[in-house]
Amino acid sequence: MTRRIKVLIVDDSAVVRQTVRQTLEREPDIEVVGAASDPLFAMTHMARDWPDVVVLDIEMPRMDGLTFLKKIMAERPTPVVICSSLAEAGAAATMQALAAGAASIITKPKMGVKQFLEDSANDVAQAVRAAARANASRLVPRTAPQPPAPKLSADAVISAGLGSGANMVRTTERIVAIGTSTGGTQALEAVLTRLPAVCPGIVIVQHMPERFTAMFAERLNALCALEVREARHGDRVMPGRALIAPGGKHMMLARSGAQYTVEVVDGPLINRHRPSVDVLFRSCAKFAGRNAIGVIMTGMGDDGARGLKEMHDAGASTVAEDESTCVVFGMPKEAIRLGAADCVLPLDRIPAAIMKAS
């Protein structure tokens, strides 16, 4: 019999602790080994029985969840699922938690938490399972963001013939589409911070809840040489700009004459996700074809694998992240299995591959 996933719940709300415990204990593959009202009580428990996954609140007495998360990742990297409020301040704290190494997020409202968690029972269990499969060592954040590689910011600009208005039109014909999920917040940071200010326009789907993508984009924008922001309907895809699909919306590439734009639309969950990588990749295959570069990185499941195959078949250059650097080798593995990837590369080689294909 497969060993059950051991989970520790850390939240100062007794209602949340009880509801999450009851939700997880219904799952045959999950065992709740404890519930603590704050990180100090949690540390006492973890000294006796270290869990496979920690479900962690952010705002708590005696020690806040962000400080506790950093302590866990420094001492013994362990997958952590953040269970946070949808309040704006909480969303900002959640972005910091993702940067510190959290595996994923469960959003919760300030009111009606018990009913919300009961209604989201399947999502809570799936978040724990995804975290348990994560390579915890890959969740540990880098000590400092690495600047764009000098070779890329020089050689890539010259080889692409960038600089004049005429050459800029040629550059807009090349677009980069990136899809990622669990572990993707750090993977995107690793890739985007290594790209020069003048690089092909980038469109990104990162599986993330509504209201979190704007703050995630703002954080990346502060770290990167290129402009990074949450996409708006009709935004132009242009060199030096990366557009991140808003949580809760699908994003598709569209073409208007010689220019590319994005369409941000409602729609059903695709592969249980909205935004969906498959939706973005299919639109890139349809409207960009051989002028596109597709990249699929760390994530659970198979969203994006078929879309990358469509891009590949349409003549696009395609890349899958290697298992050695993935937090979860799910989406890239499925893409590789389908024959969708021209090359399989570790994370630190993906920026150079993007610039080489540009």
| 245-274 pLDDT per residue, tens | 998 899 999 988 778 999 999 888 888 888
Q: Is pLDDT of 111 > 90?
A: no
User: Which fold, 5-139?
Assistant: Rossmann fold (3.40.50)
Q: What is the pLDDT of residue 5?
A: 93
Annotated catalytic residue, options 37, 84, 85, 181: 181
User: Is 108 within 8 Å of 91 (Cβ atoms)?
Assistant: no
Domain ranges of the chain: 5-139, 150-357
φ and ψ of 102, to 5 deg: -60, 145
Q: Which residue has the higher pLDDT, 169 or 188?
A: 188
Torsion of CA 166, 169, 173, 174, to 10 degrees: 80
Query: Residue-wise over 297-323: b if at least 16 C-beta within 10 A, else e?
Result: bbbbbbbbbbbbbbbbebebbbbbbbe
State pTM to two decimals.
Answer: 0.72
**In terms of pLDDT, which residue wins out, 63 or 287?**
287
CATH superfamily of 150-357: Methylesterase CheB, C-terminal domain (3.40.50.180)
Q: What is the pLDDT of residue 33?
A: 94
- Which residue among the candidates 207, 250, 273, 312 is catalytic per the annotation? 207
* Catalytic residue list contains 207: yes
Q: Does the annotation mark 303 as catalytic? A: yes
Per-residue confidence (pLDDT) for residue 242, from 0 to 100: 97
- DSSP character string of 273-288: BSS-HHHHHHHHHHHT
Q: Which one of 303, 312, 317, 358 is the catalytic residue?
A: 303
User: Residue 226 has what DSSP assignment?
Assistant: S
Would residue 181 show up in a list of annotated catalytic residues for this protein? yes
